[in-house]
Amino acid sequence: MPGSRSWSRGAVADGRRGGTTEGMDTTQLLKELEPVVEENVDRHLAAAKDWMPHEYVPWSDGRNFALLDGEPWTLEQSTLSPVARTALEVNLLTEDNLPSYHREVDRAFGRENAWGFWVNRWTAEEGRHAFCIRDYLLVTRGVDPEGLEQARMETMQVGFDSRDKPLLHVCAYVSFQELATRVSHRNTGKVTEDPVAERLLSRVAKDENLHMIFYRNLVQAALELEPNETMRAITDEVVGFEMPGAIIPGFTRKAVQIAKAGIYDLRIHHDDVVMPLVRQWGIFELEGLDEEGEKARQELAAALEALDDQATRFVEQRAEAEAKRAARAAARE
Ligand SMILES: [Fe+2]
Ligand SMILES: [Fe+2]
């Protein structure tokens, strides 16, 4: 039955996985958090709606390319703005790297019980994202299919590697990352100015939101179980946060373009991704942290302040640049 869960209760994961915290080791953590995973798998399955990616693609817009005696791709065929093209491409290439992400969560969460069930369920849901965005882009000739394929090959050959990140760090990272991806898909949809793309990307964003809630709840439970180690994990992941798509060819340049367009910038990262989770977890109301936990919390406070300042500077500089551009354009008229 689609969506039904099946795992054997009580199977204890082996201790081969790396990454222990100072308190519980990874095996203990996996065991202690298992009921939380079970509960959240049930909650997720009840909340998630089955949706059909093919329904979101305007197939009748499609036609053959050169090899099948059709028309090769040219830039004029794309109705998307340059920044919409870039954002869609980055989002798609990020989704394309799913095999690497699967490897990472499989390593961290294991294949046993509810953890293993979640890894597969999450992977299956994520799989839709690349399919339908690619279908949309090819059918509408939104981006250069050859460039896209070359970039996909490059991206996947580099792969995503978290260097055996410990369990709590993985949970913190994916909470931020799922929320970041949600925001990024939703805002990309808006800049396409195409209702079909917008509907598709909003649908994908809903999936990312449910994934975020799953991981967020896991971190919440971990904060109760191992507050100091979880606090450390959250701080490390905020300080070192990098989008999973950072390995995409030309990512830095593309990220600047995306930030300038307000699709994903430092202000959004601070206000709509980091802070909502920090608040939800009640980080600054937590009581009973030990010295190490308190140190991590203070580091986080400093990092958030620095991020906020950086975001303010970025927005000011962007506004100044826009004003100068507008003044130059007015002078030319
Ligand atoms: Fe996704
Ligand atoms: Fe997701």
57 DSSP 8-state letter: S
Nearest ligand to residue 94 Cα = 1
Provide the token pair at 232.
């450390």
123 alpha carbon – ligand 1 mean position (Å)? 9
**pLDDT, tens only, 28-65:** 999 999 999 999 999 999 999 999 999 999 999 999 99
181 alpha carbon to ligand 1 midpoint, in Å? 7
Q: Give the contacts of 215 (CB within 8 A, at least 6 positions apart).
A: 171, 174, 175, 178
pLDDT of residue 19: 41
- Cα-to-centroid distance, 121 and ligand 2 (Å): 11
What's the pLDDT tens digit per position in 133-188? 999 999 999 999 999 999 999 999 999 999 899 999 999 999 999 999 999 999 99
Among 19-28, 132-141, 224-233, 246-255, the range scoring the smallest mean pLDDT is 19-28
Tell how far the Cα of 259 is from the centroid of ligand 1, in angstroms. Answer: 20
pLDDT for the residue 100 = 96
With beta carbons less than 8 A apart as the criterion, state whether 225 and 32 touch: yes
Ligand 1 centroid, distance to 144 Cα (angstroms): 22
* Token code pair at residue 229: 């180690």
If you average pLDDT over residues 263-286, what whole number do you get?
Answer: 98
Tokens of 45: 């399955």
Which ligand is closest in space to the CA of residue 212? 2
Q: Which ligand is nearest to the CA of 129?
A: 1
Is the pLDDT at 17 greater than 50? The verdict is: no
- Give residue 2 CA to ligand 1 midpoint distance, Å: 19
CA-wise closest residue to 235 among 305, 304, 180: 304
Instruction: Please report the pLDDT score of residue 7 as a whole number.
Output: 44
Average pLDDT over all residues of the chain: 93
* Residues surrounding ion ligand 1 at CB below 5 Å: 95, 126, 129
Q: Ligand 1 centre from 186 Cα, in Å?
A: 12
Helices and strands in the chain: count of H runs, count of E runs: 12, 0
* Closest listed ligand to the CA of 245: 1
Q: What pLDDT was estimated at residue 176?
A: 98
Q: Computed from CA positions of residues 88, 90, 93, 99, in that sequence, does the dihedral angle turn out positive or negative?
A: negative
How much distance in Å is there from the Cα of 132 to the middle of ligand 1? Answer: 11
- Rounded to the nearest angstrom, the distance between the alpha carbon of 275 and the centre of ligand 1 is 21
pLDDT for res 60: 98
Taking the centre of ligand 1 as the mean of its atom positions, its distance from the CA of residue 209, in whole angstroms, is: 10
At 99-117, the pLDDT tens digits run 999 999 999 999 999 999 9
Q: What is the arithmetic mean of pLDDT over 185-208?
A: 98
Distance 313 CA to ligand 1 centre (A): 30
**What local confidence, expressed as pLDDT, does residue 23 receive?**
75
What pLDDT was estimated at residue 5? 52
Average pLDDT over residues 307-311: 98
Residue 11 scores a pLDDT above 80: no
Task: Answer yes or no: is pLDDT of 16 > 60.
Answer: no
Question: Which pLDDT value is given to residue 22?
Answer: 55
Ligand 1 centre distance from Cα of residue 46 (Å): 19
Ligand (nearest to CA of 98)? 1
Mean pLDDT of 307-321: 97
Q: Is residue 143 within 8 Å of 78, Cβ to Cβ? A: yes
pLDDT at 13 over 50: no
Cα separation, 286 vs 33, whole angstroms: 20
Q: What is the DSSP string of 137-192?
A: HHHTT-S-HHHHHHHHHHHHHH----SS--HHHHHHHHHHHHHHHHHHHHHHHHHH
pLDDT tops 50 at residue 84: yes
pLDDT of 9 above 50: no
Cβ(309)–Cβ(245) below 8 Å: no
Which-ligand-closest: CA of 93? 1
